[in-house]
Structure 1
């Protein structure tokens, strides 16, 4: 039993040592590297799947180690909790010791000041009382105590630099607060992405189903989101001559609070580094792409317009792929409807360039849009109950013969293709879409405050020096006084030698 208690005591002492806290902090930073270098499942599950497929056994091995879910992994959480415990166990005793030191008087003057690292002495024509008074004036701002010794000598003990330990404690408590704030932010925050069409497309933060992807905190169920709406009126992008994006700006309107009831839209120029802040949420502009516009005229004369975003497959030229799907209008029989659904898939080029019959994009701006499309007719599988990507068709339906390709055509703006049953598909051009991210973090103010305190505390702890000074004035039989000055730096920082030299020169000079 005694051995077990000794083991637990030594383990606790080792865990709460400052070197252990620093080691755990280093491990936490090291453990966060995979989260920055590898795709994360919470951000993009598709990229994780592609990465695993490309890297074979190595990718699967990293998956078993939870390297694609770093911040939710057991090992990262264990380091996080151990760091928290280590900091708490380290700081509470240090705070108590610091409190006792602040209340304690400066230590007694050593008997032999000549053994101090810094020492100076002189015989002055002053009384011990005058020497002590001079020391009190010169050491103004120091914590000092005057004492009388048995042989008639008078001493002064002075200390300075307690702010160093104050800064040290502020740094570590702020670091602890930063960890707590991050943890609470992950519990009560949320983040979601959504694509909104320009020229009037709207999004309201009323529920998780309005998002394309949504990552809630551990204590967020999506039923109590901050209420606001965003409308994208227009989008502007400028590019350099090499196609590199120079600036993005979405002209949006937003409403929250009383504006929701009155229908008032407040304009805001949303840019990449200028998020909209409303009702505690931040709305970021992440990127943009293009939506091809197709008008389908069916054999019965009815028309339908499709405007579904296509995703960029080339980040430089914004060449995009996708699928625009249609249900036949006026068809009520489910079986007939399932055999006459349409899907338009292919490639969209904002600035078209043809290499023979192959379409490619030469520039990301929509200067001369064109599409290379494949048209499929049949059962799209949308009634099967299975989830389906808006960017592609169900290849299984093609393999089973339920969905067949009926046309392939390159179309510029306002060009059309006619199918074998008389259906006409016209390409009407493109429209911009923007990708928005909504972030809610109720602790962001605390994170900022603790971050500032971390920097300030570290700066104080590195710049302030702990040092001590002792002065002894011993009276002589001839009426003069031997004055000794000793100094001790409590840190390894340079600079106290010059300060002590100036201080001792002032204390040991004769009266003019």
Structure 2
């Protein structure tokens, strides 16, 4: 038990960097910003896997040791508890005056059998396990306390097993969608994708598609987001190859379904949880080249840098003539009154 407590403390300490340092599988854009702001620490942190703490070898070693320690602790205690729960209460001592707590009293004018019957009824009502024979009455309780203790440790072991299962067979991915665009659950559609060692993207990625129909956000005067939600249209039709198709913009498929994504309220599709983890600006940009032709046009994603959504982005126009064009921009919310 002492070993399990030490390992549990080590696991809690090992999880601290995962809370303080942006994780690439949770918020890759925050991790990228952190790396750009700390160029000297980044190589050291990458060698220590501090940007992917929960999938690192040292973190996995701690929780595997904890799981083994819990198994070694629960097994013998469970056998001892099973035997004790089925055994009779301990025998009565020959001399009660040797007990640390004892009391003697006279039941007259009632008989000893009547008094024992009343005591047996009272102890049974208080959930004692009672055994009565010719020598007297024995009672014992307290098994639920040990059962709760074992249940707690078994639950902790179940959490560790579930965590390991998710890391081996699960995946996390991130993608930036602009209002009016669509997403298909395929590996090539993700901007960032991290999977477990036993995950097979060709078999385990569930086929579905969605359109980002509307996005609504509420802001404070300083530009900080107060609340936001996204309305998506799910496409449930599939092609003969098993890949989902996007519902048409007009006259959507009758099997299309509308759903709403909110902060901390994931949308579940075929055991796949979809989270709305953030948002930002995608200004509509038009670039004309030296010949007056449109070389680039459309919404451009700018990555937020702070809580006020100050954002930076890059615009590329490789088809511009006579030379290719590229721009680096910064999008800021004007200060409030």
TM exceeding 0.5: yes
User: Structure 1 residue 84 and structure 2 residue 67: aligned?
Assistant: yes
C-alpha change, 1:233 and 1:223, in structure 2 (3 Å) is: same
Aligned to 1:362: 335
1:194 positional shift: 0.6
Aligned to 1:142: 128
Structure 1 residues 64-113: Cα deviation after superposition (integer angstroms, max 9, x where no partner) = 44434422333322221211111111111111111111111101111222
Corresponding residue SS for 1:169: helix
Count of paired positions: 318
Aligned to 2:193: 214
Instruction: Identify the match of residue 30 of structure 1 among 2, 5, 13.
Output: 13
C-alpha change, 1:21 and 1:142, in structure 2 (3 Å) is: same
1:214 positional shift: 0.6
Instruction: Identify the match of residue 50 of structure 1 among 18, 29, 36.
Output: 36
Contact 2:280 2:304 in 1 (8 A): no
Structure 1 residues 257-301: Cα deviation after superposition (integer angstroms, max 9, x where no partner) = 679578333222222132222211122112222223233455666
**What is the CA–CA distance in structure 1 between the aligned matches of 2:193 and 2:43, rounded to whole Å?**
25
Computed over aligned residues only, the root mean square deviation of the Cα atoms, in angstroms, reads: 2.7
Corresponding residue SS for 1:291: coil
1:47 positional shift: 4.2
1:316 positional shift: 4.2
Corresponding residue SS for 2:275: strand
Tell me whether 96-105 or 121-130 shows the greater mean CA deviation.
121-130
Aligned to 1:72: 55
**What is the CA–CA distance in structure 2 between the aligned matches of 1:257 and 1:136, rounded to whole Å?**
69
Contact 1:308 1:324 in 2 (8 A): no
Structure 1 residues 216-251: Cα deviation after superposition (integer angstroms, max 9, x where no partner) = 122113212011111112222111223332111222
Corresponding residue SS for 2:314: strand
User: Structure 1 residue 324 and structure 2 residue 315: aligned?
Assistant: yes
**What is the CA–CA distance in structure 2 between the aligned matches of 1:117 and 1:67, rounded to whole Å?**
56
C-alpha change, 1:201 and 1:81, in structure 2 (3 Å) is: same
Corresponding residue SS for 1:269: strand
Corresponding residue SS for 1:53: coil
1:304 positional shift: 4.5
> Which stretches in structure 1 are left out of the alignment for 5+ residues?
1-17, 149-153, 330-336, 352-360, 364-512
Instruction: Normalising by structure 2, report the TM-score.
Output: 0.84
Higher fraction of strand: 1
Aligned to 2:250: none
Aligned to 2:210: 230
**What is the CA–CA distance in structure 2 between the aligned matches of 1:299 and 1:70, rounded to whole Å?**
49
Aligned to 1:311: 302
**What is the CA–CA distance in structure 1 between the aligned matches of 2:224 and 2:38, rounded to whole Å?**
30
Kindly indicate whether structure 1 or structure 2 has the higher relative contact order, using CA contacts under 8 Å at least 6 residues apart: 1
